[in-house]
Amino acid sequence: MRILGLDFGSKTVGVAVSDELMMTAQGLEIVRRQSPNKLRQSLARIEQIIEEYHVERIVLGYPKNMNNTEGERCEKTKEFKGMLERRTGLPVILWDERLTTVAADRLMMETGVRRENRKQYVDEIAAVFILQGYLDSLAFQK
């Protein structure tokens, strides 16, 4: 079984997938779209990835505010969750993604990725952090 991790943004979706043992998360790609409301192609690409990797569950980053409140991005994420569930038939787990983008940025700084190049990788790395956090929580529950 594999789990898909998604970092849903206004113009991109960072994608990560677990290994079959559900121990580690690997970044796959960033699905880009022209407009925030044009999700059909993004959903179609996610469906292809689900089929290719035999995914059985999706973990979707949930962008709560630092004070634990929910803003507009949370509402958009819930809408996207509903679309994913309807289109794929898979369970979608919302996972607190606070500071994943900060952690992704810090990792790229530490590994020497130039500032102007970081934007093209940050969503994929954030998806890895989201999924890895979820995988770690599963291991902790055992």
At 37, the amino acid letter reads N
> What pLDDT, on the 0 to 100 scale, is given for residue 15?
96
Q: What is the pLDDT along the chain (142 residues), one digit of tens a residue?
A: 899 999 998 888 999 999 999 999 999 998 988 776 778 889 999 999 999 999 999 999 998 767 777 778 889 999 999 999 999 999 999 998 866 666 666 765 676 666 666 566 667 888 998 999 899 888 777 6
Amino acid at 79: E
Cα–Cα distance, 140 to 138 (Å, whole number): 5
pLDDT at 103: 62
Domain 2-141 sits in which CATH superfamily?
Answer: YqgF/RNase H-like domain (3.30.420.140)
Q: In which residue are the tokens 């979820």 written?
A: 134
